[in-house]
């Protein structure tokens, strides 16, 4: 048994389904870690995570096996061995697993035992749970390899310890959530170290995949709980870890300890990474969005500029008869501060044409939300025409507060390909707008300094679809609404329980009803980055047709 090991932990991005590309990337990183004994990659790095129902295609499983065999063959060069996550078809069952590749062959395979089936995860639907895994022996050293959820619960790590494991390497596909980096390091995996008395490596990926974004934040804990390595958040990175064995067991030498972003910088970076990878991986030349002069569109434009660079962001002002000069001025100033292109296309001719078309059908009825929605849908139609003609992906700009209560127009301002603010409540929008004006994110490609005019942040929010309209005409003030929504959505509290927290019963009853009524809209909304524990889409799946109201 060796007393020294050099283990390279590689925190990198992925492309779901790009089997050859992911394999090539792993070989490139292996070449950088030529002095390592072992190079470790995140969970399912070969196929991309989560691949969802792609893994149910026999051709996909077969090609994944072919690429894994090619990776194994590459280790015949005498260089570092590799721990590679993939999928495995074994005796009529499909497994999420990891393989040790060394000396030109697949030396060992272990399957994931704990399959998560909550929130964003559906692994029990597509995978078979493996048995409690045995350690993998590498260079005579028994190494426990708990795969993601295996490390988030105690039994697998305790079993590996009982079976002789001397250190733990946990490979993960752990999506970002607010404060999750501290939870992983300070709570979950620190507990695994205390329970087993073994040092542990936690390796996670970075990058966006549809509504999920991965923040990296990989680390190494020694058996005494001390942090030996911390990899950066949001960036591809690798670190060589140097391990030695003494009478007290294995320990990792101290290495670089990156600082991770605090709140709300982490939220902003999650939005930037999620949008950047969605646009670039799907090969859009840039993005186009409606710039209203309000805070939501201003923030989306700033996020897009930091994700893609200002030259790939196209803002379009679409004024109607109700658009104030202040909004026109604010939109123009914001685009100038960001450094992106802005055009103005008045929608009044189209709105008037619809009014004439519908005049006979609408005769004898007062103007109402129907006319307001026509304006929004004309804007959506115009922006989609630009998207189709020039190839830019259309961003939608609605926040979670609005989408919770249906304060959005389906086929209007909801039309588009991606929404950076989908999981951000209105007060979060205000907070990160103020943060961005005094900070530029480390990973940002936009300009230094303020990017959103102060007037946009401080003026009362308005959709400007009728004279002197304000959001507060239809909704509670956002500080109250957001607190109410948080306990209704994330907390799943009943009306009685929310009222007990000090909220007005009539207001809570109305908001709960609006929350349920808007489900059909949310089902047709574009994807957007997940930030919290209960995003609309992957986390929260309510029936559209629903007669239950807890306030009855």
Phi, psi angle pair for 15, to nearest 5° = -130, 115
Residue with structure tokens 């990474």? Answer: 273
Instruction: Give the separation between CA 72 and CA 80, rounded to whole angstroms.
Output: 11
Indicate which residue of 123, 148, 402, 521 is catalytic: 148
Calculate the alpha carbon distances from 546 to 374, 487, 514, 520 in Å: 28, 20, 12, 11
Cβ neighbours of 76 (radius 10 Å): 12
What radius of gyration, in Å, describes the C-alpha atoms of the chain?
Answer: 26
- What is the rounded distance in angstroms from the CA atom of residue 353 to the CA atom of residue 97? 60
Decide if 419 contacts 395 (C-beta within 8 A): yes
C-beta of residue 38 within 8 angstroms of C-beta of residue 81: yes
Q: How far apart are CA 369 and CA 322, in angstroms?
A: 14
CA of 102: how far to CAs of 11, 89, 400, in Å?
A: 20, 21, 48
- Rounded to the nearest angstrom, the gap between the alpha carbon of residue 117 and the centroid of all alpha carbons in its chain is 18
Q: How far apart are CA 402 and CA 428, in angstroms?
A: 13
| Dihedral over alpha carbons 274, 280, 281, 283 (to 10 degrees) | 140
Smallest CA-to-CA distance from 409 within 383, 384, 372, 381 is with: 372
112 is catalytic: yes
352 is catalytic: no
Task: Give the H or E element holding residue 507.
Answer: helix 505-517
- Among 172, 162, 15, which Cα is nearest to 98's? 172
Report d(CA 437, CA 459) in Å as an integer: 16
Alpha carbon 21 to its chain centroid, in Å, reads 22
| CB-CB contact of 358 with 335 (8 Å) | no
Which of 20, 27, 29 minimizes the C-alpha distance to 48?
Answer: 20
Q: Crossing angle for the helix pair 58-74 and 19-32, nearest 10 degrees?
A: 20
Q: Helix crossing, 265-281 with 295-308: angle to 10°?
A: 60
Cα separation, 201 vs 3, in Å, equals 18
* C-alpha pair distances (Å), 466 with each of 22, 382, 469: 52, 20, 6
Residue 57: active-site member = no
Which has the closest alpha carbon to 408: 423, 400, 398, 421?
A: 398
What end-to-end distance do the CA atoms of the chain give, in Å? 68
CB atoms within 10 A of CB 509: 17
**Tokens 């239809």 found at:** 474
Which residues participate in catalysis according to the annotation?
A: 43, 112, 148
């Amino acid at each position: 048994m060796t007393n020294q090991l050099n283990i390279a932990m590689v925190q990198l991005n992925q492309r779901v389904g790009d089997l050859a590309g992911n394999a090539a990337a792993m070989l490139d990183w292996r070449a950088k870690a030529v002095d390592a004994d072992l190079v470790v990659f995140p969970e399912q790095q070969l196929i991309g995570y989560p691949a969802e129902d792609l893994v149910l295609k026999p051709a996909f499983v077969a090609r994944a096996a072919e690429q894994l065999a090619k990776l194994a063959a590459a280790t015949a060069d005498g260089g570092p061995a590799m721990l590679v996550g993939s999928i495995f078809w074994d005796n009529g069952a499909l497994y999420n697993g990891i393989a040790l590749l060394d000396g030109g062959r697949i030396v060992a395979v272990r399957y994931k035992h704990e399959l998560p089936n909550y929130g964003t995860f559906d692994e029990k639907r597509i995978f078979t749970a493996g048995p409690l895994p045995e350690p993998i022996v590498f260079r005579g050293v028994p190494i426990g390899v708990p795969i993601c959820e295996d490390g988030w619960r105690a039994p697998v790590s305790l079993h590996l310890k009982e079976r002789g494991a001397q250190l733990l390497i946990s490979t993960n596909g752990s999506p970002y959530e607010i404060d999750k980096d501290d939870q992983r390091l300070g709570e979950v995996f620190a507990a695994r170290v205390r329970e087993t008395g073994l040092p542990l490596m936690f390796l996670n990926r970075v990058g966006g995949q549809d509504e999920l974004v991965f923040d990296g934040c990989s680390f190494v804990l020694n058996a005494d709980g001390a942090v030996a390595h911390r990899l950066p958040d949001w960036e591809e990175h690798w670190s060589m870890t140097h391990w030695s064995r003494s009478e007290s067991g294995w320990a990792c030498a101290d290495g670089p300890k990156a600082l991770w972003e605090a709140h709300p910088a982490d939220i902003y970076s999650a939005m930037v990474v999620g949008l950047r990878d969605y646009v670039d991986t799907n090969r859009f030349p840039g993005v186009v969005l409606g710039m209203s002069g309000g805070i939501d569109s201003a923030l989306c434009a700033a996020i897009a500029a930091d994700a893609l660079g200002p030259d790939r962001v196209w803002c379009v002002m679409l004024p109607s008869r109700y658009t104030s000069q202040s909004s026109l001025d604010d939109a123009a100033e914001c685009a100038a501060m960001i450094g992106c292109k802005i055009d103005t296309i008045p929608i009044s001719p189209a709105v008037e044409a619809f009014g004439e078309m519908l005049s006979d059908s609408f005769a004898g009825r007062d103007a109402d939300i129907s006319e307001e929605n026509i304006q929004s849908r004309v804007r959506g139609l115009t922006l989609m025409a630009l998207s189709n003609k020039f190839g830019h992906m259309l961003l939608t700009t609605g926040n979670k507060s609005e989408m919770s209560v249906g304060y959005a127009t389906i086929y209007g301002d909801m039309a588009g390909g991606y929404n950076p603010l989908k999981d951000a409540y209105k007060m979060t929008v205000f907070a990160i707008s103020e943060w961005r004006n005094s900070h530029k994110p480390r990973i940002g490609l936009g300009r230094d300094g303020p990017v959103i005019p102060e007037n946009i942040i401080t003026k009362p929010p308005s959709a400007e679809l009728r004279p002197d309209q304000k959001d507060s005409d239809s909704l509670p003030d956002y500080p109250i609404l957001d607190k109410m929504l948080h306990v209704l959505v994330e907390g799943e509290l009943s009306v009685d329980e929310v009222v007990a927290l000090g909220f007005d019963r009539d207001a809570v009853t109305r908001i709960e009803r609006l929350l349920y009524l808007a489900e059909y809209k949310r089902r047709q909304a574009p994807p957007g980055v997940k930030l919290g524990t209960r995003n609309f889409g992957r986390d929260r799946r309510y029936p559209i047709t629903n007669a239950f109201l807890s306030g009855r």
